[in-house]
Amino acid sequence: MRCREVGPELPDFVGGRSDEETNRRVSGHLDECPACTRQAQELRALFVRLDEREAWSPAEAYWTSILPRVHRRLEENAARGLPQWTTRFALPVAAAIVLAAAVIKIAPPTGEDYPANFSVLLEQLPPDELQRVTDQQAVSEILQPVLEEPSATSSDDLEDVKTILGEDGSGPAGTDAEMMTGAEDWSDQDAGQLLPMLEERDTSN
Amino acid sequence: MPSRTDLELVEAFRNGDLTGFNELVGRHQERVYWIARRVMGKHDDAADVVQDVFVRMFKALKGFRGDSEFSTWLYRIAMNVSLNAIRAKRVKDFIRYDDTIESRSEELPDAELLRNEYQTVLERAIQRLPPKQKLVFMMRYYDEMPYEEMAKLLKKSVGGLKANYFHALKKVQEYVRKEMG
């Protein structure tokens, strides 16, 4: 075995993770090569230090605090968004406004039958009334179970829901890998090449 | 009652059962923590990342289709969030490391100081690795992930990964040697 072949095998050899055959071949080389023996010793010393890095583990209380912290964060995210009814009916409201604009453009109302501030009036309707008016029941049915979850109420989350479910509730196109998060922030070329699945569009933000 | 599989928990969450999410967090929190801790180095930073990972998991869970194992899917999220976080903190951490050494120097005995300093330099050496090598280093050294699994995950050859791992370790060694004299 040559030095350049031994090198990549050394970490596993030193760490005791090599198979028997590799062990035998690397050992044979080390018996005759002072440079690789020195390298192996240095790796062994490094591994001791790396293990020390792991020495401190969090207290038990930390592990039990994770879930409450996560829920708190989800609630904070939701609180930063719009009120729940606003997000629940965001799509119907938008659809109604577009529809109203289209109707007005096609057949401009005249005189008394035209409410000048139609979109404003729509927004002021109570949620149940708006629901009836906008006739977007299908969309609501898709979003309802998700939006009823306590934390999925921010406008961000609504976007997530739409992305995740798709407009028809059948789910997004693409694979699980496309659901990975933070990918667009990872501009490092090497990292991107190494994790091609992470280069996909971040669909959760 | 037999414990539910990850996939069953995902399904439960999708059907509106929040306990599915809670159980997934409990089941995977330790692994996620150590991924974050190894990348970030410090507990406080890792704890922030852990929260981010599970918040992101909450948001993305509806779209999980089971193309890969849930744990692999979550591993990728954890690694990705961690690497993004460490990149954002890199400059700040660099300054903080120096401050740490200086501020502690008056309080600790020499041996302890030296050990702390070594760990600090080691930490910095790891943080300075290019993301590609750092990822391989974390997966192999700390997670003890088989090369075959890494090759599948990273779409690289086993030989290439072995070489990459070795180079990462050598870089850490060289940096520590240079810094510590």
Residue of A nearest to B16 (CA): A145
Q: Which residue has better confidence, B180 or A205? A: B180
Q: Let me know: does B121 contact B179? Beta carbons within 8 Å.
A: yes
Q: Domains in chain B and their CATH numbers? A: 1-89 (1.10.1740.10), 123-181 (1.10.10.10)
pLDDT level of residue B103 (50, 70, 90 thresholds): very low
Amino acid (1-letter code) at residue A199: E
Give the pLDDT confidence score for residue B127 in this predicted structure: 82
Determine whether the interchain pair B56/A204 forms a contact, defined as Cβ–Cβ distance below 8 Å.
yes
Look over chain A and give the mean of its residue pLDDT values, rounded to a whole number.
61
Query: Is it the case that residue A31 has pLDDT exceeding 80?
Result: yes
pLDDT level of residue B114 (50, 70, 90 thresholds): low
Determine whether the interchain pair A191/B81 forms a contact, defined as Cβ–Cβ distance below 8 Å.
no
Give the pLDDT confidence score for residue A103 in this predicted structure: 62
Determine whether the interchain pair B58/A188 forms a contact, defined as Cβ–Cβ distance below 8 Å.
no
Query: Is it the case that residue B153 has pLDDT exceeding 50?
Result: yes
Residue B57: alpha-carbon gap to chain centroid? 16
Give the pLDDT confidence score for residue B105 in this predicted structure: 45
d(CA B159, CA A54): 28
Nearest to B29 among A66, A160, A165 (CB): A66
d(CA A50, CA B118): 11
Query: Is it the case that residue A71 has pLDDT exceeding 80?
Result: yes
Give the pLDDT confidence score for residue A10 in this predicted structure: 94
ipTM comes to 0.71
Nearest to B166 among A10, A63, A188 (CB): A10
Q: Which two tokens stand for residue B126?
A: 């790891």
Determine whether the interchain pair B166/A7 forms a contact, defined as Cβ–Cβ distance below 8 Å.
yes
Residue B66: alpha-carbon gap to chain centroid? 23
| Helix (H) / strand (E) containing A186 | none
Residue A37: alpha-carbon gap to chain centroid? 45
Pick the residue of B23, B30, B58 with the most A CBs within 10 A to test the interface with A by mutation: B58
Residue of A nearest to B156 (CA): A194
Nearest to A43 among B131, B144, B169 (CB): B169
Determine whether the interchain pair B56/A54 forms a contact, defined as Cβ–Cβ distance below 8 Å.
no
Give the pLDDT confidence score for residue B80 in this predicted structure: 87
Query: Is it the case that residue B169 has pLDDT exceeding 50?
Result: yes
Residue B23 φ then ψ, to 5°: -65, -40
Determine whether the interchain pair A188/B60 forms a contact, defined as Cβ–Cβ distance below 8 Å.
no
Determine whether the interchain pair A180/B165 forms a contact, defined as Cβ–Cβ distance below 8 Å.
no
A126: distance to nearest CA of chain B, Å?
26
**What is the average pLDDT across A153-174?**
38
d(CA A84, CA A78): 9
Count contacts between A and B (CB, < 8 Å): 162
Give the pLDDT confidence score for residue B159 in this predicted structure: 92
Determine whether the interchain pair B130/A190 forms a contact, defined as Cβ–Cβ distance below 8 Å.
yes
Nearest to A198 among B64, B80, B142 (CB): B80
pLDDT level of residue B51 (50, 70, 90 thresholds): very high
